[in-house]
Amino acid sequence: MAQEEDIKYFVRVSNTDLDGTKRVLTALTGIKGVGRHTASIIAKQADVNEGELMGRLKDEDVERLRNVVEAYSQKVPFWMVNRPKDLYTGESRHLFGTDVITTQDEDVNLMRKIRSYKGIRHETGQKVRGQRTKSTGRTGATVGVKRKKE
């Protein structure tokens, strides 16, 4: 019973509360911008056991995880980051947390502003990536097929 009591149910990393009852690899994917592969790399660079429960890690291990997450884009090749060439700065960055959402919104707004094809599709609420729209993606009153009147 003493084993369950020493677990931390929330571990704070990169402005995100991670579930302490999950394994390190799974818990790290709770950070927006971190998938399974990135989580594995972060755990290896921080020298933390991937199979250990997040809430049972020592404070030093959690601190190492925080440091690795902050310095992630400098420690991996440019093709492993989620923003390889930033539009404004030109450097490769890896975005975490709310930065992912705000940057994506800024990119969409820029496309709308310059009136690119994708920006116009975003504005009108249509499919953006070349999907077919004849039979799918219908919303509103266009759903369904009208019968011929006899």
Please give the torsion angle defined by the CA atoms of residues 57, 100, 15 and 80, in that order, rounded to the nearest 10 degrees: 30
Kindly report the number of other CB atoms within 10 A of residue 39's CB atom: 21
In sequence order, which ranges of the chain are alpha helices (DSSP H)? 2-5, 24-28, 36-45, 59-70, 72-75, 98-113, 117-124
DSSP 119-146: HHHHHHT--SSS---SSSS--GGG-S-P
C-alpha to C-alpha distance for 51 and 143, rounded to whole angstroms: 48
Give the pLDDT of residue 5.
Answer: 63
Structure pTM?
0.78
Other C-beta atoms within 10 Å of 73: how many? Answer: 18
Q: Which domains does the chain have, with CATH numbers?
A: 2-77 (1.10.8.50), 80-128 (no CATH)
What pLDDT sits at residue 95? 93
Residue 145 pLDDT: 67
Give pLDDT, residue 1: 44
Residue ranges of the chain whose pLDDT lies below 70? 1-5, 141-146
Residue 144 is predicted with a pLDDT of 61
Residue 142 has a pLDDT of 58
Helices 36-45/59-70 angle, 10° precision: 120
